[in-house]
């Protein structure tokens, strides 16, 4: 059981890394993109890059928030 837990923790750390919010934003952006393309007929190629850049900025802001002068 302990070994399974440590494998799970390693897999989480390996893929998701330090900030789970980035992974959540990427998955949500892909879901919304698929919805826009298939349900609304909108070729939303721009949505994922915008969300990734926003998630990166948000994550960097959180990581450095307490270090500002």
Partner 1 sequence: MTALPLILTVFVACAVEAVEALTIVLASGLTREWRSTFQGTAAALVVLGVVVAAIGPALTLLPLWVLRLVVGALLAIFGVQWLRKAILRAAGYKSLHDEASAYLREVAAAKSAAVTSRRGVRDWYAFTLSFKGVLLEGLEVVFIVLTFGANQHNLDAAVIGAAAAVIVVAATGIAVRAPLAKVPENAMKFAVGIMLTSFGIFWGAEGAGVAWPGNDAALLALVPVVALVSLGYTVLLRQRRPAVPVASVPHTSEEVTSS
**CB atoms closer than 10 angstroms to residue 47:** 16
What is the C-alpha separation between 29 and 23, in angstroms, rounded?
A: 10
| Binding status of residue 28 toward partner 1 by CB under 8 A | no
| Binding status of residue 63 toward partner 1 by CB under 8 A | yes
- Min. distance of Cβ 52 from partner 1 in angstroms? 6
Q: What are the start-end ranges of the E strands in the chain?
A: none
| Binding status of residue 40 toward partner 1 by CB under 8 A | no
Q: Which of 15, 13, 18, 10 is nearest to 2 (CA)?
A: 10
Task: Summarize as ranges the residues that interact with partner 1 (CB under 8 A).
Answer: 14-19, 22-23, 26-27, 30-31, 33-34, 37-38, 43-45, 47-49, 52-53, 55-57, 59-60, 62-69
């Amino acid at each position: 059981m302990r070994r399974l837990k440590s494998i799970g923790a390693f897999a989480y750390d390996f893929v998701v890394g330090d900030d789970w919010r980035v992974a959540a934003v990427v998955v949500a952006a892909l879901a919304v993109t698929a919805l826009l393309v298939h349900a609304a007929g909108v070729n939303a190629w721009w949505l994922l890059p915008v969300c990734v850049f926003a998630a990166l900025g948000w994550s960097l802001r959180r990581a450095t928030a307490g270090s500002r002068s």
